[in-house]
Copies of this chain bind each other. A is one copy, B any other.
Amino acid sequence: MNNLKKVAIDSLNERGITIDSMASIVYELQKEYNDITLEYCKDTVLSTLDKDEVINAVLTGIAIDKATEQHLFDPEINDIIIEDSKLYGIDEILALSIVNIYGSIALTNFGYLDKLKPHIIGEIDKLGKEKKRCNTFLDDIVAAIISAALSKIAHNNAQKEN
């Protein structure tokens, strides 16, 4: 495995996000449409982390969250990132670097997950809102990886049918 891919997975784990927790959301959202296994969802989530764009987004987003948590940025921007208001959209934009490369199915899934925040996405968002952690970027990155996996599964299925 690419060394940076391993660093990205470790960073996600360290912030409370396992590959399994993302794969289970993928499975839940796909099982009604496709005859798939949790194992396949896990492999698909892992495969998104082969791409430079995904690794860079994960590492950068988590770096910003951690620096914000430790108040390493100038106070004005540090406060804005901790606050994570609806008007601060840089976290969603950074997640777009993942979402865009998986096309429009990823895009609509991302908007949906970012609004509903199911399971682990909601849990890390809540920890952030309670100021226990800064997860401003992490919840969007996790939603983006899940959206990417959902898109990949949809495109793979279509190719099998043809």
- A160 an interface residue at 8 Å Cβ cutoff? no
Q: CB distance B74 to A103 under 8 Å?
A: no
A102 to B80, CA, bound (A): 20
Q: Contacting A104 at CB < 8 Å: which of B89, B112, B154?
A: B89
Write out the residue numbers on chain B whose beta carbons fall within 8 Å of the beta carbon of A102: 101
Q: Beyond the given A52-B155, A89-B103, A109-B111, could you list 8 further A-B residue pairs with CB under 8 A, ordered by the A residue number? A: A4-B76, A53-B104, A56-B89, A59-B76, A87-B155, A90-B97, A93-B96, A111-B114
Q: A residues 78-124 with Cβ under 8 Å of B? A: 78, 80-81, 85-90, 92-94, 96-97, 100-105, 107-116
Q: CB distance A86 to B154 under 8 Å?
A: yes
Write out the residue numbers on chain B whose beta carbons fall within 8 Å of the beta carbon of A97: 89-90, 93, 103-104
Q: How many residues of A contact B (CB 8 A)?
A: 54
A55 to B52, CA, bound (A): 24
Can you name 23 A-B pairs with beta carbons within 8 Å?
A: A52-B103, A56-B80, A56-B90, A59-B77, A63-B74, A66-B74, A85-B158, A86-B158, A89-B97, A89-B103, A92-B108, A93-B104, A94-B94, A97-B104, A100-B100, A100-B103, A108-B111, A111-B111, A111-B114, A111-B115, A112-B112, A112-B114, A112-B116
Pick the 10 closest A-B CB pairs, nearest first. A111-B111, A89-B104, A92-B104, A100-B100, A59-B77, A93-B97, A112-B115, A63-B73, A108-B114, A108-B111
Query: Which chain A residues have a beta carbon within 8 Å of chain B's beta carbons?
Result: 2, 4, 7, 11, 52-53, 56-57, 59-60, 62-64, 66-67, 72-74, 76-78, 80-81, 85-90, 92-94, 96-97, 100-105, 107-116, 154-155, 158, 162
